[in-house]
Structure 1
Amino acid sequence: MGKILRRSFAALAAGALAADLGYTFVLLNRPMPDRGAPSGLPSTEGYTGSVVVGADDRTLFVGGFGGVCDEDFTPVATESAGSVALSIKVTAAPGSGSDGACSAGQVTSASVRLNQPLGSRALVDGDGGATLASFDGSRLLRPAKLPPGYRLMSTAPYQASSGAVGAIQHWGSDKLLGQLELIQLDGPLSDVHSFYDSSDTGYQTSPPLTVRGQPATQYSATGRVGWTEGGEAMLMTWFTTDPQPSTASVIAIADSSP
């Protein structure tokens, strides 16, 4: 069983920080009102989102499901010779039906490990059997020079409104307020929008900035930079309050990736 990351009331703290920095924070994953103890559980539903296939070819990262009070959601992989079917197992959460506040939130990042490497097998929805889009996690950048105290917190699929598929990584600290986000997409940079500010449009400087040897796009948010590398769009955002990050510091983090 892999790690499961939920975004619920804890996201409000990140929203307050983003607002303090001038970001537009769009909270997409609001928990549902408590509706009493669930019935008809456990059950299984299909998974229709995209998938990030880990560099080990066994770890599958999924996300964007759940969000119902009193229920837990866990990804399940059913393997066969020709395919891997992904489903979501729904079970009653501990303390279901209590009078306490609902703390459930949408599962934004979860992983499941296969018994055998994925190889050439197809990834399919465990309910309808439709083929799932995937992103090759071996292409994920792993910056070597992270902010002090930061570690990788989550990896999840990212899918643009155009249908282009990618991945989103978050680094942070258990003790420090702030977060580093990197989105990689098999598509144009115009399709990439940060979770923390979807309206921030980029512009070119003269002379142009460069990231990893590629011409880069600057944004009104000083802690954000975008570029295209090998036909893949990338957007890195670092938000923190003390001190506020510079564009140069974000470029240095990106440039430290092997």
Structure 2
Amino acid sequence: MTRIVYLNGDYLPETEARVSIFDRGFVMADAVYEVTSVLDGRLVDFPGHMARLKRSLGELSIRNPLDDDAYLAAHRRLVEENGITDGMIYLQVSRGNGGDRDFVFPPEDTPPTVVMFTWNKPGMADTPVAQTGLRVISLPDIRWHRRDIKTVQLLYPSMAKMQAKAAGKDDAWLVEDGFVTEGTSNNAYIVKNGTIITRALSNDILHGITRAAVLRMADEAQMKIEERNFTIAEAQDADEAFITSASMFVMPVVEIDDAAVGTGKPGRVAARLREIYLEESRKAAI
């Protein structure tokens, strides 16, 4: 089955979709994106993704070409056209085709480029990795200082993930000024004496949609939460560690820089949060 993608209002076979070589998403990484998970054929945390998309576009002064209803209709049509039960939808909005390569923004009436496509991931909520956990390494965080904007500038996170793979590990946690910022494509947490500890929101980290939902659910479950910086040494000495993201939900981390975290196996807090998140997200999905 040929995958159907969305490009500027058209639904096309992926082999027929074309974007200009002068599009600023291609030549300048002048674009933002969102990834929304699909469970049981429905969209998870969609309003949160739309709110963050609008914020990212606003921070970069990129015109938002569609309203929430249009984005929702396109997401739902792609789910149907591609037969997605479990999977993800990628959405990217660039500043558009300026007609040439130029550091100066094109005229304000330049149409943004909107691209959407799907991944089919059957059983993504039941991945066996949740039972074994992730092993991570630490690397310096040398990204730009507006990580709160979800841009397509992902070269360093990609390189960091590849360094982790080369070391035989699953991912990397990034460190700046001695403290963990986040993972390559996820928010980072530790658990000590029953308290969930994660870095507070700022320009230094992505304002994760899954992060917000998980912390809200943890609070509703009367779990103690502390938003503050923590070090790799503190993480290695924690009782548990885990990450959150739209594609992995809540995923335990069992090893950091070759040191086992806690028992070296997924902990009870991460397991419970994953269970709660999946249950509540399925109920709220649209």
Point out the structure with the larger strand share: 1
Point out the structure with the larger helix share: 2
Do both proteins adopt the same fold according to a TM-score greater than 0.5, normalized to the shorter chain? no
TM-score (ref. length: structure 2) = 0.27
